Structure 1
Amino acid sequence: MNATAETLPVAKAPAHRTHRFALLLRREYWEHRGGIFWAPVIAGAISLLLTAVFFVIAAVGIRNADSDATVNLDDGTTMSINGLDLGVLAEQLSAEDKAQLASGIDMTMLMASAWPYIVMVFVMFFYCLGALYDERKDRSVLFWKSLPLSDGETVLSKVATATLVIPLVATLAAIATVFAFLLLLSVMVMAHGGNPWELIWSPGHPLQVSAYVLAAIPVYAVWALPTVGWLMLCSAWARSVPFLWALLVPILSGVFVSMFSVMRLFNLDAEWFWGHIVARLLLGVVPLTRHDIHRIGGFDAGEDSMLALVSPPGVWSNLLQPEMWIGAAAGVAMLLLATRLRRWRDEG
């Protein structure tokens, strides 16, 4: 019997690299969904709950206060209002007052978004520590090595998860938290005779802030490379407790350098080592660079807009700093070494 075209087995083409990489990213997400997704979401929800409790306490306090209040206006006159009427107060705002209100609203939004980012720092840190160690610990590395996946693809998927996926999910959770916070604030304003659009949504810039923090993700991904590389190197190398290795090696090195004044040989002080070596190995997952700190230090709340702190020109100016690329090169070198160690290291 001759085989026909219908009976011949159809050979399947091997999966494209981009498809394999997407599957690796999905694997990382589903294996660590609790930290990647639920941790920032729950952190944002807790911050909103505490904010709602604070608003209730504030509303009760206002109701129990004296009903008559005196407000001093810009022209030197005074006005007595019966209770707190934000609508009346809004009519008395000058152009300068409205500019300060806009900056205050933007600052409040940035503060409201802080909780998901704080959780993100810890999630990134411990994810990188366990990225290559946990698969050796539970022996799942043997299964993954049996698949047509290279060590480079596997490590790269973990790096992308740490530097892009985790910050992206945390940023989306932070944006959702900000908008929910503004809704709570709007209810508070309406309860006291104010117009939320006039006092909150119009002066503030929620859409711009959201776009700016999303645009900042690639910059801080580059900033995080030294820490991600160091933590994954410890994860690939340590046979036990990678946390202690990752923490103690930089700190004890800093103590040694400080005690014996090693940096004086290079006309530098010990603080340089702590700031440029120890901090870069351990604190790169915090989305705040030294250049950002200098910008914040030079910020004038009376003249500058809060948007300047998170605007793309300010944030992306970090890429002009040599420290960013020197650290990124060191991080890539450590990741390449971690990839080689994953290929060779096998418990037992």
Structure 2
Amino acid sequence: MKAFIALVHREFIEHRGAFFIGPALLLAVLFAITILAFTVGRVDVHLSGALLTVVPLIVYEIGFFGLGFAWSLYLAVTLFFYCADGFAADKRNNSMLFWKSMPVSDFRILLSKMTAALTILPGVVFAIALLSAVLLFGVAFVTMSINGTASMAALGAITGIYFQVALALFVALVASLLWYLPFMALVGAIAAAVGRWAIPIALLLPTLISTLEWVTLGGLHPFATNTWRFLQYRLAPPQTPYADNWFGALENVDGLASSGSIGRFDGTAFASDLLVGLDWTQIGLGIVFAIAVIYIASEYRRRVNDN
């Protein structure tokens, strides 16, 4: 077990530039921009009446979700390139013979890479995303305090919003990682065989499979097949009606502010709605598929390197 944990830690050390140093630099730039925006008056914090108690809280909620969405895009792209690069790193840096001499199987090595992609690597980015929200909210609250438009009651409300949205983002992250696990494993398995060429192959493979179905079984065109419809379903992110309804209620912000009838975001309700709506059968099949393709890639890696 210690050896496996060490392998996962190795993945973080080798890719900390993309999963820690890069996000930390982006966070520093974002923090500097936020301070500049508030200090030069680009953000108006002079509010009164119902707007003073309602609008800032709406902005905090939407702003945190915006940050979470931006960091999720960064993480999705980074994980895709990690799977295409990390699974071939041993071969590329000529360390394959060293790892072959260790009492660790090829399957465990590849499994450690996938484990890192599901745990420590997205966990670091998620932690930086949470820190970015703290810094942005801190700058906003300090600025409003200086202008006399903030209160301890508002700080308590903001703290509650922070934990509710953080819970929702965490559950969404876990659900997305499980949902897209088979695609990550497939890219990594291809990379174990062909290296960085896994990126274009992974992008073209679904189209080729759909085209093969169209040629053999017929249909209107390659994008009107059962394969393509299944891929569209599996590539679509997990949905939750709660989030759609809540964001829809924010369309009339002025009316909600004047009436004071807006409801705060409920992270527990969001998480429950998301988890209940997930296709757990597909997630289970995806886990089995991921383990299978990683095992096949490990056998290919073992046999090729032994020869």
Task: Provide the TM-score with structure 1 as the length reference.
Answer: 0.71
Cα contact 1:225–1:332 (8 A) shared by 2: no
For 1:9-29, what per-residue CA distance to the aligned partner results, in whole angstroms no more than 9, with x for missing partners? xxxxxxxxx111111111111
Of 167, 186, 190, the residue aligned with 2:141 is: 186
- Aligned-partner residue type, residue 287 of structure 2: A
Give the Cα–Cα distance (whole angstroms) in 1 for the partners of residues 98 and 91 of structure 2. 11
**Counterpart in the other structure of 1:236:** 192
- Aligned-partner residue type, residue 11 of structure 2: E
Could you tell me how far 1:297 is from its partner in structure 2?
A: 3.8
Cα contact 1:112–1:178 (8 A) shared by 2: yes
Of 121, 128, 147, the residue aligned with 1:173 is: 128
Give the Cα–Cα distance (whole angstroms) in 2 for the partners of residues 301 and 152 of structure 1. 49
Within-5 A mapping of 1:319-334:
319-334=278-293
- Aligned-partner residue type, residue 275 of structure 2: W
Instruction: Note if 1:93 corresponds to 2:47.
Output: no
Identical aligned residues as a percent = 21
SS in 1 for 2:305: coil
For 1:216-247, what per-residue CA distance to the aligned partner results, in whole angstroms no more than 9, with x for missing partners? 44433311211111111111121662222222
Gaps of 5+ in 2: 251-261
Cα contact 1:168–1:217 (8 A) shared by 2: no
Task: Provide the TM-score with structure 2 as the length reference.
Answer: 0.80
Give the Cα–Cα distance (whole angstroms) in 1 for the partners of residues 91 and 238 of structure 2. 36
Instruction: Note if 1:270 corresponds to 2:212.
Output: no
Instruction: Note if 1:289 corresponds to 2:237.
Output: yes
Which deviates the most, 170-179 or 148-157?
148-157
Q: CA RMSD of the aligned region, Å?
A: 3.4
- Rg comparison, structure with higher value: 1
- Aligned-partner residue type, residue 338 of structure 1: A
Within-5 A mapping of 1:1-348:
18-57=1-40, 59=41, 85-86=46-47, 89=48, 92-93=49-50, 98=53, 102-203=57-158, 204-238=160-194, 241-254=197-210, 262=217, 264=219, 270=224, 273-274=227-228, 276-277=230-231, 280=234, 289-292=237-240, 296-299=243-246, 300-301=248-249, 305-308=264-267, 311-346=270-305
SS in 1 for 2:103: coil
For 1:173-229, what per-residue CA distance to the aligned partner results, in whole angstroms no more than 9, with x for missing partners? 000000000011112312332115334542552133334433444433311211111
> Which structure's residues are more often helix, by fraction?
2
Cα contact 1:47–1:115 (8 A) shared by 2: no
- Aligned-partner residue type, residue 285 of structure 2: I
Which deviates the most, 18-27 or 239-248?
239-248
Instruction: Report which structure shows greater RCO (CA 8 Å, sep ≥6).
Output: 2
Gaps of 5+ in 1: 1-17, 63-83
Give the Cα–Cα distance (whole angstroms) in 1 for the partners of residues 20 and 150 of structure 2. 35
For 1:135-188, what per-residue CA distance to the aligned partner results, in whole angstroms no more than 9, with x for missing partners? 112221111110011122211110111111111111100000000000111123
| Structure 2 CA distance for partners of 1:51 and 1:103, relative to 1, 3 Å | same
Give the Cα–Cα distance (whole angstroms) in 2 for the partners of residues 263 and 162 of structure 1. 38
Give the Cα–Cα distance (whole angstroms) in 1 for the partners of residues 218 and 243 of structure 2. 29
Cα contact 1:263–1:273 (8 A) shared by 2: no
- Aligned-partner residue type, residue 40 of structure 1: P
SS in 2 for 1:156: helix
Give the Cα–Cα distance (whole angstroms) in 2 for the partners of residues 48 and 274 of structure 1. 42
